[in-house]
Structure 1
Amino acid sequence: FDVFEGQIFVASMNEAMPALLPADSKAGDVAFYNNIALGAFNLGGALGGIFFGILSDRIGRKRTMTYTILAYSLFTCVSAFATTWWQLVLYRFLLALGVGGEWAVASALVAEVFPQRARAHSQSIFHASSVLGTLLAVAAGSFIVGNRQLALSLPFLGEGGQLTGWRLGFLLGVAPSLLIIWIRISLHEPELWLKTQAMPSEAKGSLGQLFAPALRLRTLVGVGLATVGLATFWGTHIYGKDVFRQAYQAQTGTKATDILKHAEMAGMLLVTLGGGMGLLAFGPICERLGRRGAFLFYHLGGVAMSVLLFQGISGLAALAVALPVFGFLTLGMHAGYAVYFPELFPTRLRSTGGGFCFNAGRILVPLILFLKGWMQKEWEISLANAATLLSLLFLIGVLLLLFAPETKGQDLPT
């Protein structure tokens, strides 16, 4: 559900942001403010992941997860009532605090409850379950956001007082709060975490210890890998759907917004299905090639497929085949963060370390996305060219692997 909270904006940003900007805003202006919103989401995720990761190592996985779900459910719902672009950006930042925090807690939790032989596969399945959230966002985009007949009258809103499709999509974000009931009743603290409670409190959830000599390189490698994956996700991966929409419009000549919205969501569906397969495949691939070998496979494949998609493919039939492959290669390494990061840190720092690595990467992403939006606005660089440029970051990920320790077949450090 945390992924739905992130992806519902992706599914509706071509409707939401134009509705909050002046009517005469250009496409470059919309792209600029959308990138600001995406950047705010990543910054909030960074801060939330670090804070809740530390909190989880100190007070437990169960209690912390409750707080993260409450945060992202509440502020996604509140986003439906934004009346200016900056309000929407603010709500994206606040809900991301919970989204980033839940990843840190959940990845540590899954790593601690499964044995070593099943850890890589279980973490891949855990991360692949995020596809369900994206599929929910696709469905909301197709049947709610793109449905112009769905509207409720609320006089304090703009757009003639209409609670339009994109606003209704955000309202759905309150549903995950029901998970809190299940967590409070059914979820138990991992045995590994309970054993750490005999340690002195200062030994648990200490951010400074991540940069002790024994862990410093591991921390920096983790942050670097996450930065590459997150920047390419928000700057390249999510725009596969727009390529399909543009190709559909070029091939059919239609200008009907509802039809084009369905084409866009069809493209998002193709990318998402491929991405889900890529996430599931990371576990078996990393068990065969090792953690470093799996990251290498996805990074090289990601940059190659991105250049091919945005610069060399235009027909609908070809895109229908290419988009799942693109999704597979540009998203699959994200399961690797859930597999790899918990293996880098001892139990007393596992949620802190994993949360810091994954979410500190988000701190750099807003700067990258701001630059991308600025280039689209001021230099009028096309979406395809901007996405292609950002895909070159995968090559930096290849270089980082030279310094990454191999953890295949090893027990979790205690």
Structure 2
Amino acid sequence: MQDESTNPYSNSSRPSDGGNKGLGTEPAKGPWYEGVTGYQWLILVIACAGWVFDVYEGQIFNITRNDMLKEVLGDEASVKAWGDNFLAIFLVGGTIGGLLFGSLADRFGRRPIMIATILMYSLFSGLTYFANDIYVIGILRFLVALGIGGEWAVAASLVAEVFPKRARAHATGIFHASSILGTWLAALSGILVGTNWRYAYLLGVLPAVLIVIVRACVKEPERWRQAQTSVSGNKAGSFSELLLNPQWNTLALRGMLLAAVGLGTFWSVTVAGQDLVRELLLTNGADEQVAGGKSKFAYGIIQAAGGGLGLLSFGPLAARFGRKPTFIFFHVFGMLIVPVVCFVPQTYTQMLIVLPVFGFLTLGMHSGYAIYFPELFPTHIRATGASFCFNGGRLLAVPVLLFSGWLKARDGMPLDYAVTGLSLIFLIGIVVMLTLPETKNRDLIDTE
């Protein structure tokens, strides 16, 4: 067993105030939000707003890709293959952006890098409105993904560092759960614009307004400022410190694999809810247009509502039972709900009943990444480490996505069988989580 003095997850060496001056002593009892300051709530709102549009930029492609690719390609037979290729491009861009901007946030501060990432994804989303070439769209999706990957790492670290220990899991859980608003916004935009997909991307320019608010309101966390004076050499934001130091490298690699399971199953299993509904409707005699509209609503609103409840539930469950049991619960039951959704519903109404449960169990674990990853690493590599786990997981998810596209496109392979087979990936997440440390009731790590 590791000695208390050297164990990075011991309680003895870190302040209980979340590293922020002026918080005072945390209340021992009462609701988790008791004692949270107005500034801390403001940081949570700003972080959530950025993440909402992060998710919007990703989900709007899922919802509009058929209309977009049919118009640009003029070849309906190529739509499915190009759609999966673009998702792979998006995952690679998110990985590179997350690693780059996460490291820069540890070196130069949370505020300037948050501004840069928001500007990047909002600008290139808006430019998609003018795109008429399939390769230009691919480049723009890659650039949007760069900003999205970076913004998550910065915002998750910022919320974790600003909130006190007893409120951290709830606050970071709320931060990630706000993604459901981005999904709803994308779904409503997709429904409203119909086949006029370009207007949905033009809406993605709106987050640029956040830059003014971030510049005016956000201050660098006290933890980060202290780390700049106490860390020796060039260790802040250093990938060599993260990946060559045995204290952190195995945590980073296992965290990346954990995220890859969730992100891989999201793109190959959770997102398939829309296609499962569409196929059911077509099988039951609905025409193409009706099936498309109803499947967008079922996935973007009904399933997403269940997913939002799952995301919101992760924080309170993790605070009560621990990070490890909560992750394992969602992986186990996420795997079990998939064949139910694939084979049990025979009508659209029945599908609407089970989709919220499907969303709850397959999506809820994603809040855990914002809660758990910043707790694994010290301040001087917190954004770097959290980003490596989450966005490195995106890169590992690319082969899953490509395999998913190949499997679903095979002649004679029913979609329900393909999705059920892909759900077995959750087993990997269970095994990985069993090897990782429990961080419940631990202070953030400030030591080198």
Is TM-score (shorter-chain normalized) higher than 0.5?
yes
Corresponding residue for residue 162 of structure 2: 113
Q: 1:10 aligns with which of 59, 62, 72?
A: 62
Q: Are residues 18 and 383 of structure 1, via their aligned partners in 2, closer, same or farther at CA, if it must alter by over 3 Å? A: farther
Q: Does 2:401 correspond to 1:387?
A: no
Determine if contact 2:324/2:438 at 8 Å carries over to the other structure.
Answer: yes
Corresponding residue for residue 92 of structure 2: 43
Give the letter aligned to residue 186 of structure 1: C
CA distance in structure 1 between the partners assigned to 2:172 and 2:361 by the alignment: 18
CA distance in structure 2 between the partners assigned to 1:118 and 1:293 by the alignment: 19
CA distance in structure 1 between the partners assigned to 2:206 and 2:90 by the alignment: 20
Q: Does 2:73 correspond to 1:21?
A: yes
Determine if contact 1:73/1:175 at 8 Å carries over to the other structure.
Answer: yes
Alignment of 1:134-149 (within 5 A): 134-144=183-193, 146=194, 148=195
More displaced stretch, 48-57 vs 192-201: 192-201
**TM-score, normalised by the number of residues in structure 1:** 0.91
Q: 1:77 aligns with which of 99, 103, 126?
A: 126
SS in 2 for 1:236: helix
Q: Does 2:89 correspond to 1:58?
A: no
1:176 positional shift: 0.7
1:380 positional shift: 5.4
Corresponding residue for residue 6 of structure 2: none
Q: 1:400 aligns with which of 405, 423, 432?
A: 432
- Aligned-residue sequence identity (percent) comes to 45
* Root mean square deviation, CA, Å: 1.5
CA distance in structure 2 between the partners assigned to 1:6 and 1:70 by the alignment: 16
Q: 1:67 aligns with which of 116, 130, 138?
A: 116
Corresponding residue for residue 390 of structure 2: 358
Corresponding residue for residue 50 of structure 2: none
1:96 positional shift: 0.3
Q: Does 2:226 correspond to 1:195?
A: yes
Corresponding residue for residue 168 of structure 1: 199
Q: Are residues 80 and 403 of structure 1, via their aligned partners in 2, closer, same or farther at CA, if it must alter by over 3 Å? A: same
Corresponding residue for residue 46 of structure 2: none
1:289 positional shift: 2.2
CA distance in structure 2 between the partners assigned to 1:395 and 1:192 by the alignment: 36
Determine if contact 2:257/2:396 at 8 Å carries over to the other structure.
Answer: no
Q: Whose helix proportion is higher, 1 or 2?
A: 1
Q: Are residues 246 and 337 of structure 1, via their aligned partners in 2, closer, same or farther at CA, if it must alter by over 3 Å? A: same
1:379 positional shift: 4.1
1:386 positional shift: 2.8
Alignment of 1:169-184 (within 5 A): 169-184=200-215
Mark the runs of 5 or more structure 2 residues left unpaired by the alignment.
Answer: 1-52
CA distance in structure 1 between the partners assigned to 2:233 and 2:277 by the alignment: 53
Determine if contact 2:282/2:288 at 8 Å carries over to the other structure.
Answer: no
Corresponding residue for residue 247 of structure 1: 280
Give the letter aligned to residue 221 of structure 1: R
Determine if contact 1:61/1:105 at 8 Å carries over to the other structure.
Answer: yes
CA distance in structure 1 between the partners assigned to 2:314 and 2:408 by the alignment: 34
Determine if contact 1:36/1:366 at 8 Å carries over to the other structure.
Answer: no
Q: Are residues 366 and 380 of structure 1, via their aligned partners in 2, closer, same or farther at CA, if it must alter by over 3 Å? A: farther
1:262 positional shift: 2.4
More displaced stretch, 372-381 vs 325-334: 372-381
SS in 1 for 2:191: helix
Determine if contact 1:32/1:376 at 8 Å carries over to the other structure.
Answer: no
Q: Does 2:251 correspond to 1:218?
A: yes
CA distance in structure 2 between the partners assigned to 1:413 and 1:137 by the alignment: 37
The alignment covers a number of residue pairs equal to 391
CA distance in structure 2 between the partners assigned to 1:17 and 1:200 by the alignment: 51
